[in-house]
Amino acid sequence: MGQQKFQGKKICVVTGTSSGLGLKTTKALLKTGFYHVIGAVRDMEKMAVVAEEEGFGSDENFTPMQLDLASFASVRQFVDKLNEFKADKPLDRLVCNAAVYQPSLNEAQWSEDGIEQQMQINFLSHFLLTSLLLPEMTKEKGSVDPRVIMVGSVTGNDNTVGGGGVYPIADLRDLEGLAEGAKAPIAMMDGRNFNGAKAYKDSKLAIMMTTNLLHDKYAKSTGIAFSSMYPGCIAASPLFREKKPWFRKLFPVFMRYITGGYVGEEEAGQRLFQVITDPRCTRSGVYWSWNGGPREGRGVEAVKNGGKIVGAGGEGGGWDTIFENEQSDKVRDTEKAQLLFKYATQITKAEWPLAKGAVSPCPTLRVIGAITAILDKQEELQRKTKRAQPKTMGEVLERLAF
């Protein structure tokens, strides 16, 4: 049923499709005619207006569905509705894009679940969403070339100027806040005082760490490619709506003409579109970035290196400038990632499938396995029987007394 309804098109879920990066990416996907995009958005009325303005309001390949990432209950309801809608058709792409940035707040804003909004919307709810949809993307479900893509940020990757040279620096420390449940009044993953800008950066660091752990844990057994990406600094993005008017006016100018790191929404959308569609991006465990081409104002080094300034991500350069960017020590901290995974699972009540390794199809293994299971049961029975035997005269008398 589901296969016929979608006519062979891949199903792609994109969170945050009503504006910014998510909207531009959705437009690019729909132009191909090869994807049915599920637009996961909080405000369905806004999505309807935007879809009409952008020309895909009546597109049979676009289906908006409500998803409020500030509510774990909404995440579960979205997954139930999606599974009903797609029926037996596997999910091919999950793009975790939606995010909020609240650097100007003096006090934390809390979600429906009593969790700081940036922590939940940017990270924890996407964490839960991924856990619920993972079983729908496996090879067993018939998904071909499935991909889970997390939109990270240079601000969560502190081995570059953009991430390590701008205060505050992303740092989860020992995850004290998550260990204590991350409920109000605890507003930060590290349990320290609330800082709006750092909360955003920490959420991006957490989502990039989780991507790596999912790669290690599930890539081989499921066939899913887990990757994160940084599309460049979309300085004119609605993401900066919390900033002061003067900042919103001058920041794009600064990024375009001084740092060379500016990227427009259209080009950023093409970059995320590339990670979704390009055969080169089937590699798992990668942090994708792009290099803008050399141009005046980027400095002598940019010209010497053909514009390839690692981590710059400026505009221009095109499809072939994609590269596998280096991840910081914090992002690659596997021990902390495992703790992060544990605490996030407890907070969200996520249920992850068992990570199964490859097993030889040889029938001998199945026979030996069945025999071993029988022998193990017999051995366990003998062990319990032996343990139950009285060892002293006192134990014998005690049993006789009853």
Q: How far apart are CA 12 and CA 27, in angstroms?
A: 12
Q: 147: which strand partners?
A: 93, 225
- Residues contacting residue 319 through CB under 8 Å, at least 6 positions apart: 270, 274, 278
Contact 273, 29 (CB under 8 A): yes
Q: How far apart are CA 362 and CA 288, in angstroms?
A: 39
Catalytic, 287? Answer: no
Of the candidates 194, 139, 147, 131, the one whose C-alpha atom is nearest the C-alpha of residue 345 is 131
- Residue with the two structure tokens 């700081």: 116
Cis (ω within 30 of 0) for the bond into 185?
A: yes
Of the candidates 209, 214, 213, the one whose C-alpha atom is nearest the C-alpha of residue 94 is 214
Contact 226, 215 (CB under 8 A): yes
The dihedral of CA 273, 275, 280, 282: what is its sign? negative
Contact 37, 12 (CB under 8 A): yes
- Residues contacting residue 196 through CB under 8 Å, at least 6 positions apart: 102, 103, 104, 105, 106, 108, 118, 242
Per annotation, catalytic residue among 35, 101, 200, 262: 200
For 257, the token pair is: 């003409």
Q: How far apart are CA 299 and CA 321, in angstroms?
A: 19
Q: Which residues are catalytic?
A: 200
